[in-house]
Amino acid sequence: MKLFIKNMVCPRCIMSVENILKENKLETKYVRLGEIELSKEPTEKQLQHFAGELQKVGFELLDDAKTQLIEKIKTLLIQKVQEKNIEEHFSIQKFLTKKIFKDYSSISKLFSEVEGITIEQFFILQKIEKIKERLIYNEQSLSEIAFDLGYSSSQHLSAQFKKLTGMTPTKFKALGTTHRKPIDKIGN
C-alpha cells in the first residue's frame, strides 16, 4: 500500500517518518520524500494513529489524488533545486512530463488552481531560498551559485533575487539568516 505524505522535504524528514513507522510497528518496502510503501495493509485504527503521529511533527497524510499529485510535483522540484549544476536551459515542462507521465498543461493548471502560483514561480522561489542558503554559508561566489542553479549569469541571478526579495544578494548576505523560509513553506 502506497501512502503520500505532505511536507517531507529533506533526508531528516525521511528519518523522522521512519521513526514514526517503527513506533507504530508499520513495516515498509521503502520510504522516499513524500511517499512510503507499506509491506502490508494497516488497519483503519493503525492508519488513523499514524496520521495523528505525523501531524504532531508537521507532516500530513494525503488521501486525495489531486493533493498527492501536487505534493509529488513539489517534491520533484525541491529535489531538483537541491542538486548541483542545474543545466542553464532546464525545462520544467520536459522534466515533469518525464517524471509524472501526465500532460503538462493539465498538471500546470491543477497546480496553479490549488497553490495560487504557477509551477515555474514555485521553482523560482525554491531557487531563491537555495541562493539565500548558499549566500549565508559564504562558500561560493555569486557566479558559482548562478552556474549551479542554472542562471545564465550572476547578473540574471541578482536581478531575479532583487525582484523577488526587494534586496540585492549582497544586502541579503549582510543581513544574515533572518529572512529565510523553510522549504515546505515556500509558495504558501
pLDDT of residue 184 exceeding 60, the answer is no
Amino acid 175: pLDDT: 80
Confidence at residue 183, expressed as pLDDT on a 0 to 100 scale = 59
Cell of 13: 524528514
Instruction: Identify which has the larger pLDDT, 178 or 3.
Output: 3
- Looking at residue 139, its pLDDT comes to 82
H/E run at residue 61: strand 60-62
pLDDT of amino acid 174: 83
Q: How far is 18 from 33, CA to CA, in rounded Å?
A: 11
What are the contacts of 108-112 at 24+ separation with CB within 8 A? 110/66, 110/69, 110/70, 111/70, 111/73
Q: Is the pLDDT of residue 125 over 90?
A: yes
Does this model's pTM top 0.85? Answer: no
The better pLDDT of the pair 173, 9 is held by 173
**Confidence class of residue 128 from pLDDT cuts 50, 70 and 90?**
very high
pLDDT in tens, 47-102: 889 989 999 998 888 777 788 889 889 989 988 888 877 777 788 888 899 888 88
The letter for the amino acid at 93 is Q
Per DSSP, 138 falls in state T
42: which DSSP letter? P
All domains of the chain in start order, with CATH: 2-63 (3.30.70), 67-185 (1.10.10.60)
Asked if pLDDT for residue 118 goes beyond 90, the answer is yes
* Confidence band for 182, pLDDT divided at 50, 70 and 90: low
For residue range 141-170, what is the model confidence (pLDDT) as tens digits? Answer: 899 999 988 888 999 999 999 999 899 998
pLDDT at 162: 94
76-81 CB contacts, 8 Å cutoff, 24+ apart: 76/100, 77/119, 77/122, 77/123, 77/126, 78/9, 78/33, 78/126, 78/183, 79/33, 80/123, 81/123, 81/126, 81/127, 81/130, 81/149
Q: In the predicted model, is pLDDT for residue 188 greater than 80?
A: no
Phi-psi region at 40: left, alpha or beta (left = phi > 0; alpha = psi -120 to 50): beta
